[in-house]
Structure 1
Amino acid sequence: MDTRPIRFEFQCLEGAEELKFVHNIPSGLVNPEALAAQRDGRYRSQFLTAIRPILKEHEAACRAASKGFCENCGQPSVGVLQTPMSWLHNAEDPFVAVLVNPVCGKRECESQMRENIEDMIAEATAEIQGQGASRPSAHVGNMSCRICGKTEGIMKCARCKSVAYCGKEHQRADWKVHKTSCVSNDGGGR
């Protein structure tokens, strides 16, 4: 089988080190039509079969880089969610981005993280298709208050922009938990 070296970027918590590796994957997965091909079950199956061992190989490094706390509730994490985003359609620089989100093992936290990730991927995909973007957006849509789950009138944390609250009261109530992972977008932290 013909293979091609591809860069994998494991994107851990904001402000954390990005892990980069190069792995050989089947050449047939790398093409300008890869974005459209992801809707095809056969292509998707081949893609997942090719990258699962890569995700498994780097899981321990991802856990170490995730600072040990659930991204949703702030409790100690017991694992990480690894969500691959294919950029194999990008002819100039094909790569695979892997979003790494630490989770505590509670079903609710994992479910909330998966929902947030799905929203972010849907938004990034819409931007690519609508504007011809070549990289994913850092903006996350459809966020809910980290305390009560409310989705109307939500404001993101001004510092890290990775969590949201319905008001100052819930932001203050969550600060003891959130401050352990809150870092500014410029890489600084408290």
Structure 2
Amino acid sequence: MATYPVRFEFHCDNETLEFIHNIPRHLITADAQASREDAGYIDQFARSLRPIIKEHEPACRAASNPLCIICGSLMVTVLQTPMSWLHKVEDPFVVVLISGICGKGECEIKMRQEVQETMGELVTMGQSHRPSESGGGKEVLPCRICGKTEGTMRCGRCKVVAYCGKEHQKRDWNTHKRACVSKEG
């Protein structure tokens, strides 16, 4: 399989970490809209990025504030949210937004809502690394039960967790309902 070197920028609290990784060449496409709507492309994108993101998690933790960005408790985990600019074929890159959280469900929900808002702003602002065309504004969310990314649907209330179907949503509800909160609420 043909690969292509792509720049990855991990935006942490204290610094931006940059790395180069080879990813499958077919993920680099000038058609940003089609790639955002193609479930197969999204699944391949997520599978290709997962090991890269996992590899750099320790460095991201070290470059982040040790406290939860929401409640101020000790950070337990970092959310790593990739945004693709692979449609910029002359200089494709991926930005990964890093957010340290304590591990409480409600902090994760609030942080993911803030990240979604930030992603929307980055795409529409068109500043510096941010293209005016909508290239990277869709967060890829795997099913909370099985990890599948293809065809997942977001929780209708909080909009930050996803499921591949009603069965998995029902299975997770007893856990998720404690943290599920509407952005307005």
TM range (shorter): 0.5 to 0.7
Unaligned ranges ≥5, structure 1: 137-148, 152-190
Count of residues in correspondence between the two structures: 135
- Percent identity, please: 49
CA drift of 1:133 comes to 2.1
User: Letter of the aligned partner of 1:55 in structure 2?
Assistant: I
Describe the superposition over 1:12-34 as per-residue Cα deviations: whole angstroms up to 9, x where unpaired: 01xx1111111000000012113
Provide the residue aligned with 2:7 in structure 1.
Answer: 7
Q: CA deviation at 1:135?
A: 9.8
Give the Cα–Cα distance (whole angstroms) in 1 for the partners of residues 133 and 32 of structure 2. 13
| Cα separation, 2, equivalents of 1:111 and 1:22 | 30
* Aligned counterparts of 1:117 and 1:74: Cα–Cα separation in 2: 17
How far apart, in 2, do the equivalents of 1:2 and 1:9 lie? Answer: 22
Alpha-carbon distance in structure 2 between the residues aligned to 1:134 and 1:71:
30
Superposed CA RMSD: 2.4
- Counterpart for residue 31 of structure 2: 33
Residue 85 of structure 2 is matched in structure 1 by 87
Q: How does 1:28-67 map onto structure 2 within 5 Å?
A: 28-67=26-65
Whether 1:76 and 2:70 are equivalent positions in the alignment is no
Once residues 58 and 183 of structure 2 are traced to their aligned partners in structure 1, the CA distance between those partners, rounded to angstroms, is 34
Contact 2:67 2:102 in 1 (8 A): yes
The SS at the match of 1:38 is helix
Deviations 1:104-128 (A, max 9, x none): 0111111000001111212333445
Of the three residues 104, 107, 111, the one matched with 2:105 is 107
Contact 2:124 2:132 in 1 (8 A): no
Which protein is bigger by CA-based radius of gyration? Answer: 1
Q: CA deviation at 1:67?
A: 2.2
